[in-house]
Amino acid sequence: MSNKLKEPSRNCSRCSRLKKFRIENRKKYPSWFNAPVPSILNNNSELLIVGLAPGVTGANRTGRPFTGDHAGLILFSTLKKFGFSRGFYKENGFDSLELDNCSITNAVRCVPPKNLPNTSEIKNCEIFLQKTINEHKNLKLIIALGLISHKSIVSSFGFKQKDFKFGHKNKHRINQNITLIDSYHCSRYNTNTRRLTQDMFDEIFRETKIALKN
Ligand code: URA
């Protein structure tokens, strides 16, 4: 792999387990994307949302983060409500969705079995998160969706985890320009169990809007 790559190559082999899973999925579902899913990038944007990893029948199928699964329905409708997107969203990705002042990426770019990347896979992919963050020269806010994404962001800035405790609505000063806001992940599990309600998710974006105005 070249260090110049901003996104992993289609056949990235940094993680043997994820590569094996990708090859199996390509055989089973040849019409699916089945590759590291590239970020939705607006390099001038002030907001970056960091998810966990592609869902097998969501982003891994469609090739766009959060597109095609439950988490995407919640995320894209909330982005629209708060003016971070334009156009219409369709679960197959054939839509007119455009993000406004916002980018979306994942801490891990390949789909992991059972939606759970292991520690070394998260570490292997950190370089791509770092590059994505660094590309955003106007970045003011990062929303971490879930603990793994939070930890990966903290680690990509070279900070110690103990100084950045994850919690829904926790805010962390990263540097002079950038603040990190934590949110519970908008996964089906979290919304079904009401660990995350729509009101709680809205609060994150309400605070984001206010922070970006200052
Ligand atoms: N789809 C993604 O791309 N990322 C997530 O974190 C969840 C679903």
Q: What is the DSSP string of the chain?
A: --TT-SS--TT--S-HHHHHHHHHHHHH-TTS--SPPPPB--TT-SEEEEES---TTTHHHHSSTTTTSHHHHHHHHHHHHTTSEES---TTS-S--EESSEEEEESS-SPPGGG---HHHHHHHHHHHHHHHHH-TT--EEEEESHHHHHHHHHHTT--GGGS---TT-EEE-SSS-EEEEE----HHHHHTTSS-HHHHHHHHHHHHHHHH-
Distance CA 11, CA 9 (A): 5
Predicted pLDDT of residue 6: 83
In a domain, 87, yes or no: yes
β-pairing, 171-173 with 179-183? Answer: antiparallel
Structural domain boundaries, residue 133: 35-213
Between the CA of 214 and the centroid of ligand 1 the distance, in Å, is: 29
Residue 17 within a domain:
no
Tell me how crowded residue 160 is: count the other CB atoms within 10 A of its CB.
Answer: 8
CATH number, domain of 68, equals 3.40.470.10
Note whether residue 14 is domain-resident: no
> What total of structural domains would you count in the chain?
1
pTM comes to: 0.96
Q: Considering only CA atoms, which residue is closest to atom 1 of ligand 1? A: 66
How would you classify the pairing of strands 98-99 and 179-183?
unpaired
Q: Is 112 in the pocket of ligand 1 (CB under 6 A)?
A: no
Q: Is 38 in the pocket of ligand 1 (CB under 6 A)?
A: no
State the closest ligand 1 atom to the C-alpha of 149, by its place in the atom list counted from 1: 6
Q: What pLDDT does residue 214 have?
A: 67
> Residue whose CA is closest, atom 8 of ligand 1?
66
Q: Which atom of ligand 1 is nearest to the CA of 145?
A: 6
Answer yes or no: is the C-beta of 166 below 6 A from any ligand 1 atom.
no
Provide the residue-wise pLDDT of the chain in tens; the chain has 214 residues.
344 678 999 999 999 999 999 999 999 999 999 999 999 999 899 999 999 999 999 999 999 999 999 999 999 999 999 999 999 999 999 999 999 999 999 999 999 999 999 999 999 999 999 999 999 999 999 999 999 999 999 999 999 999 999 999 999 999 999 999 999 999 999 999 999 999 999 999 999 999 998 6
User: Which phi and psi (to 5°) does residue 22 adopt?
Assistant: -65, -45
> 143 C-alpha vs ligand 1 centroid, how far in Å?
13
Position 99 in a domain? yes
Residue 16 in any domain: the answer is no
Ligand 1 pocket: which of 52, 60, 64, 110 to mutate (most atoms <8 Å of CB)?
52
